Structures are given as C-alpha cells and as structure tokens.
Amino acid sequence: MKKICLNFCYFSVLLFLSYSLNAHANTKGQKSVNLASISAISVDLKTGSVLVAKNSKLVVPIASITKLMTAMVILDAKLPLKEKIRFSKADKKIINNYFSRIRIGSELSRADTLRIALMSSENLASAALARTYPGGRKAFIKAMNAKAKLLGMKKTRFVNATGLSEKNISTASDLAKMVRAATKYPLIKKYTTTQVYTARFKKPRYILGYTNSNLLIRTGNKDIKLSKTGYLDEAGRCLTVVRKVNNKDVVMVLLDSYGKRSPIGDANRIKKWLQTGKQGKIKQRAKNYEQMKLAQYFKGK
C-alpha cells in the first residue's frame, strides 16, 4: 500500500511539472503557430500590436542580439564615424580571447567597425566600440542599461557590448521594443542587411571580407528591413528580423532554438501563418530541447 502511494505521488509530481511547463509554453499565439524557438514574439512594427507570442515574458540570455543596443548607444553619442579605432589587446582580453581575424594594433573607421559588428557579429569590433566610448566601457554599459530603461525594457540587463555573457538577459517582449527602436536608425537597417562587405584596415594595410550572419540576407531575401543573429551555448540560436508580411512591416524575435537554422525556419513559419493561417511542423528533437530548457528556466520557481 505504501509503495502504491509513493508511486501515485511521484506520478502526480510529474503530471504537475508537465502541466506547468505546458502552461508556460501555451501563451498567446502558441495555439496557432508551432515554433521551434523556446521564446518568441511577433509584433506590428507600426502599432506594436502582438501578432504571435510564445513565452514572450521569459527572461533568457540574448547573445549577440545585444549588438543592436550597442549600435544605438554608439549612434546616440554622435561620435565621428570616420574616426579611426585601434584594436587593442584589452579588447581581445575583454572577449576572453575569442577568435577574431582582426590584427591587434590595426585601425578601422568607427563606421566600418560598427558595420562588421552588426552584419557579421564581430565581437572584437563591439568590444572596441565600447572601449572608445566617452568614459570607457563602464560608461558604455551604463548607457546601454539607461537606454533599455528609456525604452521600457523592464526585464533587460546588459553587462557587456558583445553578448558574450549569459548575464546579458532580456525577454522576447522587451527585445521587440528594442528592435522597433532600432528601425529608426537608418545605419542600423543598412548595416544589418548588408550581404557582403570588404573592410579595409590600416597600420598595417590589409583587407578582410565579411558576410552577413543571417542566411536569409546572404541568399538575397528582399523583404527584410533589419536583422540580427545571436548564438551562445546558454542562449541557443537567436534571431531578430523586421520583414514585410502582407504589406506590413513585422518584427520577429526568436530566442533559444536548438538547430542552427531553426530561428530562420520559425521566421518563415510565422510569415506563412500570417499569410495563410497554416502551421509548419516542428521536429521532435526541437520539442525535446524545449522541454529540457524550460525545465531549467523554471527550476526553483
């Protein structure tokens, strides 16, 4: 009898946990759109009205989506874009010696440094932009968080300019606000949708070719007005895009996907659903990944 009781209690706990996870997953829009991303939102760019949402209030690491805020803070400061930025050992150290093809000691204009940070997610470029901000990195991070507060991003926190930290956190809902704000900067739209670019460094002179980190941009997709990818082990695959759907500009934020192309697949699934009302299919391994990550996110809550 005691064994039966214990088994019943164990089953009840599992059932409760399963119900809890499903309740978090089935937020507004989730019943209509199957998505591989753990957290997502799509809003009308002009009005901000929510079109699709899935765990959109869940606080998660955001990886290189961070760089959109980095760009806004740089442009808000109105620093001279033609000024040369020298890449230093301190920049390399701040990104924990993360790989970069840029040679330490070489120089590049602030405009092109910003361009490769956005289009190709160059971390050394983002670190250099923060270091050369008036007041240095600490002042830069302070400005990032102040900007987030100004935009009403209440659950967002930045600790660096690159996104190379799981402590850069936000929600899909907050990031939709950031993306909407970013569309007001012509250079951000231009740089994030650049397919390929050749950066010309000085001291010493050399060139490096860069490609956009978003496959949709690289393949010539013309309906995208702004884009930023992100990846970190703790954050999974992330993507933000603004694209034309049904003659309207739509913001899409997709966070923490298992597969390399899952965020792109989700962006297309949202577009298809908005156009036709038809759903796409999600692979079982993506569903398994979601269950595992949700269990981690909600552990102790």
Among all residues, which ones are annotated catalytic? Answer: 64, 67, 121
Report the run of H or E that residue 263 belongs to, with start and end.
helix 262-276
**CA 268 to CA 243: how far, in whole Å?**
10
Contact assessment for residue 288 and residue 282, using Cβ atoms and an 8 Å cutoff: no
**Angle (CA) 162 164 168, round 5°:** 85
**Nearby residues of 202 by Cβ (< 8 Å), 6 or more positions away:** 84, 106, 107, 108
**CA 143 to CA 140: how far, in whole Å?**
5
DSSP 227: E
Q: How many residues does the chain have?
A: 301
**CA 183 to CA 10: how far, in whole Å?**
50
Exposed, middle or buried, 40 (CB in 10 Å: 0-12/13-18/19+)?
Answer: buried
